[in-house]
């Protein structure tokens, strides 16, 4: 009985690898989706990669944007730092932060063709998912990411 249970366990694990399971949250057949993405001019939302056809940005409010993979011509990545912004207190006075914290920002520019000409979508990514988003972009488009602002 123990041998049978061990065989079932090993076979189940092998089936998971055969399906391309990368992590408990994703598999080869699921659509990669990343939250906490900001598109300049639209706001916060989700970035979804269709299996074969398109990249989709779904904002929390407003109209979604789709870009076919075959229309994407260039990918640029830049890591910048943004200083903490001053705030306004209850009396309306401008206050500078006591500690100047610099927050790393990850920016990806996607240049793509449309019937009206070439356009650019700028996406701000969070530190916890920017590598996954860039890896998925490279895998889906077959393009290399040009990195600016850093020595790689």
What per-residue confidence (pLDDT) applies to 1? 56
CA distance 109 to 113: 13
Contact 101, 128 (CB under 8 A): no
Q: What is the set of domains in the chain, with CATH numbers?
A: 1-30 (no CATH), 31-148 (2.30.29.30)
Q: Which residue has the higher pLDDT, 85 or 14?
A: 85
CA distance 53 to 69: 6
Q: Which residue has the higher pLDDT, 136 or 31?
A: 136
Contact 136, 49 (CB under 8 A): yes
C-alpha distances (whole Å) from 131 to each of 34, 135, 136 are 11, 6, 9
Give the model's confidence band at 2: pLDDT under 50 very low, under 70 low, under 90 confident, else very high. low
At 57-113, the pLDDT tens digits run 988 888 888 999 999 999 999 987 655 556 666 777 766 655 555 566 788 999 999
Q: What predicted TM-score, i.e. pTM, was given to this entire model?
A: 0.64
CA distance 115 to 26: 34
Is pLDDT at 22 greater than 80 in this prediction?
no
At 134-145, the pLDDT tens digits run 999 999 999 999
């Amino acid at each position: 009985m123990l041998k049978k249970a061990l065989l079932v366990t090993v076979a189940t694990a092998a089936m998971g690898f055969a399906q391309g399971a990368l992590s408990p949250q994703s598999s080869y057949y699921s659509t990669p989706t990343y939250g906490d993405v900001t598109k300049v001019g639209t706001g916060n939302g989700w970035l979804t990669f269709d299996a074969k056809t398109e990249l989709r940005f779904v904002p929390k409010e407003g109209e979604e944007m789709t870009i076919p993979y075959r229309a994407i011509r260039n990918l640029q990545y830049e890591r910048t730092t943004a200083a903490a912004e001053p705030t306004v207190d209850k009396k309306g006075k401008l206050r500078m932060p006591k500690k100047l914290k610099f927050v790393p920002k990850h920016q990806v520019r996607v240049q793509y063709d449309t019937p009206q000409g070439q356009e650019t979508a700028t996406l701000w990514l969070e530190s916890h998912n920017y590598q996954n988003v860039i890896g998925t972009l490279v895998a889906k488009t077959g393009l290399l990411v040009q990195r600016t602002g850093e020595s790689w």
